[in-house]
Amino acid sequence: MNRVVALTWAAAALVMGFWSISIALGPKADASGWLMALAFAVAAAVCVWRAWREWQTPDVTASDLFPPPAPREQNAAAADAPRAGRGPPIPLETQISQLHDAGLVMAPGRTIAELLTSWARADYESDPYLLLLVMFGSEVEAEPWGRFFCERGLNFDMECLVQRGDYVLAFTEVLRITGQPGLATLLSDDFDIDGKSAMITYTMKDSARTITARVDNDWADPAALAAFMHDIETTIADGRHFWAADNGQSAVLFFLTDPEAARINALRDQLLQRYTA
């Protein structure tokens, strides 16, 4: 797909170059004619550079990196199954303390009272750790909005796409929980719900990247998300990986070291699993 973009830039370079030469060789009433010729020459040079950059950039096709996702009907059935391994009720304060010791800390200013605006204490305590992890990936459900319970968590709703730019919003939130929100720049997408594919582009470590995503109505492509995460993991390369807790049509994401994930899973078996498509 980058080769097509490269050819488009090359065509633009030819047009700009033609105009620059035509103005330079044609009659000019004053110095402004030379300025116009110079401006078109500069524009042609920029187009040549963009064409070369796009031609050199390999496509990252999500399906090449990860296996295709399981049918959504199967995922939905699993989400509806009773939660296994809950064990006896555990006080909410104990859960918060033990997750803190494992590396997941409530954001400054967040309180138990705010947690209780979403679920009753009995709900947290009868389904220990899982419901709290879901909230650690969520915002406080009260004004002012935009206050996350945990800076390392994101409740990623897979049914999040409506229009062009929604992949940008979703992937920006993924970057937030890494602690390096500026790791990917020039992030853009051409998502079209009526189209057959969507292309997500960005730059990471001065290298342009492209991920081709499958369009399934308003559902984000799990393989495209996994490809973006794989890129982040290999770029940061500090031992952290993306781990997820199951929340039905959502994946509650955390960017953790393997020992941190192991400590959380020791609290309740298989709370977290490495995220793959």
Note the pLDDT of residue 51. 64
Token pair 């040549």 is found at 48
8/225: higher pLDDT = 225
Percent of the chain with pLDDT over 70: 81
Phi/psi of residue 249, each to 5°?
A: -80, 0
pLDDT band at 15 (very low <50, low <70, confident <90, very high): confident
Residues facing 241 on adjacent strands: 256
* pLDDT for the residue 42: 75
Task: Write down the pLDDT at residue 66.
Answer: 41
The verdict on whether omega for the bond into residue 222 sits within 30 degrees of 0, i.e. cis, is no
Torsion from C-alpha of 114, 150, 130, 88, nearest 10 degrees: -60
| The pair of three-digit structure tokens given for residue 132, joined into one six-digit string | 């709290």
Instruction: Kindly state the percentage of the chain with pLDDT values over 90.
Output: 65
Least confident of 37-41, 66-70, 89-93, 236-240: 66-70
Per the prediction, the chain carries an average pLDDT of: 84
Q: How far apart are CA 111 and CA 96, in angstroms?
A: 10
Q: Which helix (H) or strand (E) holds 226?
A: helix 222-236
User: What is the layout of strands, in order, in the sheet containing 273-274?
Assistant: 153-157, 250-257, 240-247, 273-274
How many alpha carbons fall within 13 Å on the CB side of residue 96? 16
Phi-psi region of 261 (alpha: psi -120 to 50; beta: other; left: phi over 0): alpha
Average pLDDT on 34-41 reads 76
pLDDT of the residue at 251: 94
**For residue 142, what pLDDT is reported?**
93
Closest CA to 211 of 246, 8, 222, 219: 222
Written as six digits, the tokens of 239 are 């031992």
pLDDT higher than threshold 50 for residue 62: no
Average pLDDT of the segment spanning 107-128: 97
